[in-house]
Amino acid sequence: MIKVLKLLIITCLSISANNALAFQYYENDAVVITWKTSSGKWKGCGPVQCVSTSYRDQNDVIDYITSSRRHTNLKWVEDHGRCVIYIDSGSLGAGDYNPKKVIRLSENRC
């Protein structure tokens, strides 16, 4: 059976940059958004969780907000303001945050 994925286009308003952030994803894609804090450290939100602790290395944040078993093929989408956006196609698992939730929880950080 072929599953038809509904293509969603999401637009997030960036408060700090005052322009729209728009990218395309499928509803079962894992979305990862990381951002650099004013102190130069990294925070992020992904399919597994969002972190409030800052980390020196962006990869450390990505390790905490993704699953090493499911989210193994992150692809860079774009840099937007302080944020870096990645997608892992078709890797959303049961209990993971859906793309809309990840975007909603991190959109004001960019």
In a domain, 100, yes or no: yes
What is the pLDDT at residue 12?
35
In a domain, 1, yes or no: no
Structure tokens at 5: 């994925």
In a domain, 62, yes or no: yes
In a domain, 87, yes or no: yes
In a domain, 2, yes or no: no
In a domain, 12, yes or no: yes
What is the pLDDT at residue 2?
34
What is the pLDDT at residue 13?
32
What is the pLDDT at residue 73?
92
In a domain, 82, yes or no: yes
Report the distance separating Cα 85 and Cα 94, nearest Å. Answer: 22
How many domains does the chain divide into? 1
What is the pLDDT at residue 10?
34
Instruction: Determine the structural domain holding residue 83 and report its residue range.
Output: 7-109
In a domain, 97, yes or no: yes
Chunked into runs of 10 residues, the chain (110 residues) has average pLDDT values of 32 38 80 95 96 95 92 92 93 92 91
